[in-house]
Amino acid sequence: MGNRQSRPWIVSDELWSLVEPLLPKPGPKKVEGRPRVPDRQVLCGILFVLHTGIQREYLPQELGFGSRMTCWRRLAAWNEAGVWDQLHQLLLNELRSNNQLDWEQAVIDSSHARAARRGPKGGPSPVDRAWPDSKHHLIVDGQGIPLAVSLTGGNRNDVTHLLRLLDKSSPVAGLVGRLRRRPDALLADRGYDHDISRRLLWQRGIRPVIARRGEPHGTGLGIFRYVVERTIAWLHGFRRLRIRWERRDDIHEAFLDLATCPITHRHVQRLC
């Protein structure tokens, strides 16, 4: 997000020009008090937490990003207003308008994030059932650009979430003609092996390329599937996503949705 490797949470002018029109207008203040912290500074504070993983109560006030409650309230409000989804959609549209989305194949996968607290969309960890656990589900295009992401409990079987995640991918504009939302083929590992899923993918006009349980490794799918594993590593490069600290699932999902935006934005910047 911008050319600020040492401080990646600082919002560039170019990025702010995309975000600002999407933000809901603040209502009138009910009581007089301190001036409202500008939205741009609060967004920097939210990104600071996302990048560093710092607990919200330790957000340094000297940075000028507002209080922890200010950042949390606006994060929740902006997520409820669909700001992150709209921003991600704008970035995908820009990529497609430059023929930079690979629709020949998409790749789906998931990863675990240990939950520090029990809450909605948490479940027993497959490693230690005494600990709660959540899953990050991700679908990317053939280059690893995020198309959709979602959160479930850690005990959710991958195959049960395949079609839900696929259908969460919004239609992408950017070229003359019909909107595009589905790839030609979908690649997945053995966790998604089910004949019903294959049939439903065919019905959607998508060719399933899914590894089968019981068959020996070495099918060559890993050559193409590495892009989703790389993007998952990028997601977990945001320290706030490595462990789910939030009891509220909507707050963790807000961080997860927000994290797809800087990853996609980096691909847009390469067009310049």
* Tens digits of residue pLDDT in 179-222: 888 999 999 999 999 999 999 999 999 999 998 887 766 566 77
Report strand pairing: 185-188 vs 207-210.
parallel
Q: What pTM does this model have? A: 0.89
Q: Residues 69-113: pLDDT tens digits? A: 999 999 999 999 999 999 999 999 999 999 999 999 999 999 998
Residues 73, 106: one domain?
A: no
Q: Which domain holds residue 137?
A: 102-248
Residues 110, 243: one domain?
A: yes
**Encoding tokens for residue 167?**
């259908």
Burial grade of 258 (CB within 10 A; 0-12, 13-18, 19 or more): buried
Whether residue 189 lies inside any domain: the answer is yes
Q: Residues 111-167: pLDDT tens digits? A: 998 887 776 677 666 666 667 889 999 999 999 999 999 999 888 889 999 999 999
Residues 126, 235: one domain?
A: yes
Whether residue 50 lies inside any domain: the answer is yes
Whether residue 266 lies inside any domain: the answer is no
Task: Look up residue 78 and give its DSSP letter.
Answer: H
Residues 117, 212: one domain?
A: yes
pLDDT above 90 covers what percent of the chain?
62
Residue 256 clears pLDDT 80, i.e. is over it = yes
Residues 168, 242: one domain?
A: yes
Q: Which helix H or strand E contains 51, and what residues bound it? A: helix 39-52
